[in-house]
Amino acid sequence: MDRRSFLKTSALGGTAAAASTLAAPAYAQGKRTLTMVTSWPRGFAVLDDAASYLEQFVSAMSDGQLTIDKKAPGELVGAFEVFDAVSSGQADMYHSADYYFIGQHPAYAYYTAVPFGGTAQEVTNWYEHGGGQELHDELGEIFNLKGLLAGNSGSQSGGWFRNEINSADDFNGLKFRMPGLGGKVLGKLGASVQNIPGGELYQALSSGALDGLEWVGPMADERAGFQEVAKVYYTAGFHEPGSALAANVNLDVWNDLTPQHQAILQNASRATTFVQLSETLANNGAALARLQQQGVKTLQFSDDVWDAFGAASAEVMDENMGDELFAKTRASFEESLANSASWINKSDGYYVAQRVRVLGG
């Protein structure tokens, strides 16, 4: 007998006894704790911040009747093992970056970031109003997962390097950490690309196991301490212009939740994205200034390097078009991106350029 059948049978068997005693309060009957495995060491800026906000919001919205037991890597499973743990039912949900799992399906890249993809706002536009949520669910059904997004890093930096990048040829042979499809782009340029968990990056860069890496942005990078072992920092990157974070739930667990608890998880995830993203963007500028005070040299890639990124990105994206769901997801995402950009370029983008021209900053 499986666990669920056992619980149902036990509940029926206890009906007579329950009738002779005072019924338990409704809130006690509905109380539930979900085990959430994460890819983030405790205290990691931005990423664990988002997981912690989700934990807090779920408890607050449910008045403590739905809670999350957050696990760091190694407490139950490893950082990159969270997908399989939740898919199989070993844990109830995970908080991670879905592009870690493009090996399971390349379309998972879209639920973190793709090369030359959307900003945080554009990703949210697609996810909430352009079919992204529905496609996440369609993908998740293959792996027994319910798709949710909970957090966004905003635009991620181009990365930390020991030496300046003067041409695309400088990536040839470079030992560089970059996950997702962005990593495959650098592979096209000759880099030796590695995907290393965040908790191991400082040591890898310090020891020379890596020549460079990308992580998140100034707030998170400063807390990770990369400025202590590298001094060249490219502040804009092609690979993650608005990186979403995922809080996917085992589909059997999701279906067993009450509609109220499902709604709480859905809206706590949305609140997490709003609060954590705004916190990150509010702190990146001051963090960047502190990095510069510590001798970090901030640079931008040349147009020639950006052109090389673009050509290699097109190759990588096209290589996945043989997969029907990837092609469907790409078409949906790019249609939403074009719709968003047609207004943003003429409004926010133009306004910010004029504000900087007129007032500086």
For residue 352, what pLDDT is reported?
A: 92
Q: Tell me whether strands 212-213 and 149-152 are parallel, antiparallel or unpaired.
A: unpaired
Q: Which two tokens stand for residue 151?
A: 């957090």
For residue 255, what pLDDT is reported?
A: 98
| β-pair partners for 177 | 194, 213
Domain residue spans of the chain: 159-240+286-323
Cβ(180)–Cβ(103) below 8 Å: no
For residue 88, what pLDDT is reported?
A: 98
The alpha-helical segments, DSSP class H, found in 104-226 are: 120-129, 132-142, 180-188, 201-207, 218-224
- The per-type count for the chain, helices as H runs and strands as E runs, is 15, 13
List per-block mean pLDDT (blocks of 10 residues) for the chain, which spans 361 residues: 36 36 42 97 96 98 98 98 98 98 98 98 98 98 98 97 97 97 98 94 96 97 97 98 98 98 98 98 98 98 98 98 98 97 93 94 76
Give the whole-angstrom CA distance, residue 267 versus residue 1: 35
Cβ(325)–Cβ(260) below 8 Å: no
Q: Domain 159-240+286-323: which topology?
A: D-Maltodextrin-Binding Protein; domain 2 (3.40.190)
